[in-house]
Chain A
Amino acid sequence: MEKDKVNQLYNFFLTRSLLKKYRENGRIVIGTLCNNVPEEIIHSMGAVPVRLLGLSKSTELASAKIPTWLCLYSKRIMEDALKGEFGFLDGIVGMTSDDTKSHFFSAYSFYLKPRFSYLIQIPYVRDETSLDFFEKELRRFIGRFTSFFATEFSEEKLKESIEVYNTFRELLNDLSELRYADSPRLSGEEWLKLLLASTSMLKEEMNDHLRELLSKTNDFEGYKDYKLRVHLSGTDFYDVEIVKMIEEMGGIVVSDDLCTSAGYYKGFVEGKTLKDLAKRYLSQSACVLTSGVGNLSIEDRLEFIRERIRESGADAIILLKDRGCEICGHQCPFILQEFSDFPTLVLDLDSPYPTEQLRTRVEAFIESYG
């Protein structure tokens, strides 16, 4: 893979330079607080949706405002926000996906007072009543948004945005195929960098970059000197350093079920209407808390993981368990149980990372199963 190109794109995530530029050019920039916020809607109204992810390594300012034991994801966003790093935002959109995300939305609004804020109510069951409700809820959001920013919404524009996002998903699917090969032509580190870059620019621009990268994939034979093909399991994880460390120890990350990766892009919008969009976000994503009628969301999640492992040919799982993540906290034992005949390593993550300890554990794991 074109390492320079990947790093150049990743730099947009680290600097947020494009987002600031969009804002300078008069675009509305909206921060989203969950991978299940339907970005297509925001995009279709001429605004730039950006998945908020904090870059702060320590979170002392956030600790004065929210409990210290919350997940890294929420603490880092709060820290960056309190440091004034999100000055380019015109508003935030959250979702009731879990307790942290609901109350974090409230706390963020309370302390940072964004100009615009909206919390999308997501049902947890995928029945017809809930789908109908969710579509109406998205319409309610559109109404609030257009009225606040004096913008317009049209089904035609939404259709165009859906196409842009579906293209993005398609390109990522093509790119992910490169990870599944015996000699993956894309490392886990590169993959995550691309995903993070995609949160920091308009998707149509990202699509151009992805096309360019795909056109050059044949120039590289792939990674051959790895010992273990790894599936990463977790939620809002985005620490490239950890993935890099796993790969330095001889692993190669070939798939994942992270909210920042597979959970973000997997699943197309089948159709071009708001209802179709509602259906995708309620039923086709890897949302860890919604489930089909008479089913449990954990079953759906396990199936999502199985599917990723099937397609990638992963030999082992590394489970990234953020100590403050309520979803990891509840679901981890079931994942362990389900994959009990599969080599699995659980890494408890909390800041600051005990890097050497993690390194030793990963090394031992890869040595044992690689």
Chain B
Amino acid sequence: MELQEWNPLGYKTLYRNLFKKHLARQDELLKKGRPVGWFFSFYPSEIIYIFDVVPAFPEQYSAYCAARGSSVDLIDASVSKGYGHFLCDYFKTTIGSIEEPEKATKPLMPTPDFIVDTRALCVAHHEMTEVFARKFGIPKYTINYPYWTSDALGYVDELTKMPERVEELYMEYSIAKLKGLFEFMEKVTKTPLDEEKFERVFETSEETSKLLIEITKLMMSKPTPGSQREIADLVFLAFFVLGSDYAFEFAERGYEIIKERVKRKEGVVPEEKFRLLTFGIMPWHSLSLYEYCEMLGATFPINLYVNASLHLCDSKKPFESMVRRSMHFTNSTYDLMDSIIENARKADLDGALLLENTGCRITSIIIRPLAKILQDEVGISSLILEAPQCDPRVMPLERAKTQVEAFIESLR
């Protein structure tokens, strides 16, 4: 098949600057002897800025190992120690790096002084934090948000996570647990809560979240202005560093770039042939799959995983905002997809590329129902690829490319 010239937004430089600032902050705090905490996606990221904590993100670190090629050895190390085959790749990679650090990509994550376990995405976070906490003998705080059901929320906007209503019981419990988290943070960091800083961080978070939502909305323009190779990484901002000045700087500049691109009606490739929705944790070892699809003329105006990572932060209601962060469709019953269907219709899609992340129950069990909904409600068919996010052995890139080519052919 003929490949077109690929024209990304150019976010690469922005990401580079973002990581540079994030790592510089981390080094500075480490030098000051600030405590290290391990955190997971959908955690209330504002806390690391409010309490001057050195954060480490096992999921992000595992993605890094996958991109650098060390994750396979680490996964094998984990299985050889007796951990299950069909567990989250992020867990297996991280535990592998703890058990056999010599095989892991450097720099390793700093050893944690405490760990925060939020069941805002999956129970696997709870299960893995138990393992890490026991390994390191460190304190752990647990928040378990509800697994949302339609009778508790009604309609939920896919991007802002603004629900039609919220079951009061669930909101109250979640907020009570979040307040407990702040007490825990005061204790483990030996730092009293600075109210002023709290407000400032949440204001930054609000502004950043608005821009990230706008970026994903603009991605739905015709032609698709950017590449998923770049957009997929927005989850790092939304999951882990929301509330930081550097995330805001990125979002501000990123928004300007994509806005200009849309104004010029410029796409990621000269001739857009098919518009696809994608979902699933990105296979970090083979991100070029997206680039390849785009060069074939199949662009991705919607990435449901990126959309799941977003929420509109309301700095006037910080605790409610932290709870709303958990109201994404991967933490909900499958009757809460109305907003997804609406956006899919708006985006004028031709098909979907869905990634079943082996070992990840939350993204995998939902895949087939999602494909059915997209077929029934939007009239598009899906290609489901088994694609563990850190283990390229299950999804060799060349095989995936062939499958994608065949799928695209079938869309003609």
Question: Which residues of A pack against B, CB within 8 Å?
Answer: 64-67, 69-70, 96-100, 102-107, 109-111, 119, 121, 123-125, 129-130, 133, 136-137, 140, 144, 289, 294, 296-299, 321, 323-330, 332-334, 336, 346
Contacts and interface: CB of A to CB of B under 8 A. Distances in A.
6 contacts: A67-B356, A103-B365, A123-B173, A296-B140, A329-B83, A330-B130
Interface of B: 81-87, 91, 119, 122-124, 126-128, 130-131, 133-134, 139-140, 142, 144, 146-147, 149, 151, 167, 169-170, 173, 176-177, 180, 332-335, 356, 358-359, 361-362, 364-369
Contact of A329 (B84, B334, B364): B84
Nearest to B360: A99
Contacts of B367: 67
Contacts of A104: 365
Given A98-B123, A121-B147, A289-B127, A326 B133 contact: no
Contact of B334 (A96, A106, A325): A106
A165 B194 CA distance: 51
Contacts, number: 137
B357 to A, nearest CB: 10
B225 to A, nearest CB: 34
Contact of A129 (B131, B173, B365): B173
Contacts of A109: 333-335
Contact of A103 (B81, B85, B167, B362): B362
Nearest to B359: A69
Nearest to B133: A296
A60 to B, nearest CB: 14
Given A124-B142, A330-B130, A321 B84 contact: yes
Contact of A99 (B81, B84, B122, B358): B122
A98 B362 CA distance: 10
Nearest to A125: B142
A321 B79 CA distance: 13
A323 B333 contact: no
B358 A66 contact: no
**Which 10 interchain pairs have the tightest Cβ spacing?**
A329-B84, A99-B361, A103-B365, A333-B82, A133-B173, A330-B127, A329-B87, A99-B123, A110-B334, A102-B147
A326 B81 contact: no
Given A103-B361, A103-B366, A105-B333, A298 B151 contact: no
Given A96-B123, A99-B123, A109-B334, A332 B369 contact: no
Task: Give the most central of A64, A104, A136: most B CB within 10 Å.
Answer: A136
B333 A326 contact: no
Contacts of B123: 96-99, 102, 289, 326
B146 A121 contact: yes
A328 B369 CA distance: 27
Given A110-B334, A326-B123, A329-B85, 9 more contacts: A96-B144, A107-B365, A123-B173, A124-B144, A129-B173, A330-B128, A333-B82, A333-B83, A334-B134
Given A103-B361, A121-B170, A289-B127, A330 B81 contact: no
Contacts of B335: 109-110
Contacts of B170: 121
Given A102-B123, A103-B361, A298-B134, A323 B177 contact: no
Contacts of A69: 85-86, 358-359
A178 B332 CA distance: 45
A333 B81 contact: yes
Nearest to A101: B123
